[in-house]
Chain A
Amino acid sequence: GENVEQHPSTLSVQEGDSAVIKCTYSDSASNYFPWYKQELGKGPQLIIDIRSNVGEKKDQRIAVTLNKTAKHFSLHITETQPEDSAVYFCAASSTGNQFYFGTGTSLTVIP
């Protein structure tokens, strides 16, 4: 099956700086890559996703890049704010039914 690795496991940034979280995957058939944000005590919530026919996608301060050749994708958050503090998970899927998640990154934005 698919193996998704996520780094770093923890990340601290100053408010206003950028944050980057990286994931690699093993199955070249994977074609859908969502990112989820989990706030304390809540279920994960989708923040952005990308499909393999696109190299980059942006939504305001959040962007995701995908390198199919190298099998890695990254989440970029610019102009970070304290409310961006949360745990972020990447995931990969080839079928749209079975999903493989990374181990999570705990992001802390220091005011």
Chain B
Amino acid sequence: EAQVTQNPRYLITVTGKKLTVTCSQNMNHEYMSWYRQDPGLGLRQIYYSMNVEVTDKGDVPEGYKVSRKEKRNFPLILESPSPNQTSLYFCASSPRSGTSGYNEQFFGPGTRLTVL
């Protein structure tokens, strides 16, 4: 089944304890992205990747890191989480990047993160 998977789905952690949220897609998609969703703020883009080893900042990158060493994986790293990073996180992938015309994003099921 074609899908985007995220792990873990739920995570409660404490301030300062490094964590990684994994994202994997099995559709051979070129483009991947991370978003956070907060009440009243909608979806905000954190980072995106146009291809392997090519990443760029979205609208709210502070406090996050990403890497794209393989086409299928795009982990989100919080080196020193803080309570303001408590949020619902979504990973998404798309067949192509840029203005190719294949911009539909396929979203994962989400990861609910709580930082105490």
Contacts and interface: CB of A to CB of B under 8 A. Distances in A.
A46 B93 CA distance: 12
Nearest to B98: A96
A99 B99 CA distance: 12
Contacts, number: 68
Nearest to B4: A43
A46 B104 contact: yes
A97 to B, nearest CB: 5
Interface size class of A (residues with CB under 8 A): 20 to 34
Interface size class of B (residues with CB under 8 A): 20 to 34
Interface in B29-79: 31, 33, 35, 40-45, 48, 50, 56, 58-59
A80 interface: no
Interface of A: 1, 6, 31-32, 34, 36, 41-46, 49, 89, 91, 93, 95-104
Interface of B: 4, 31, 33, 35, 40-45, 48, 50, 56, 58-59, 90, 92, 97-100, 103-105, 107-110
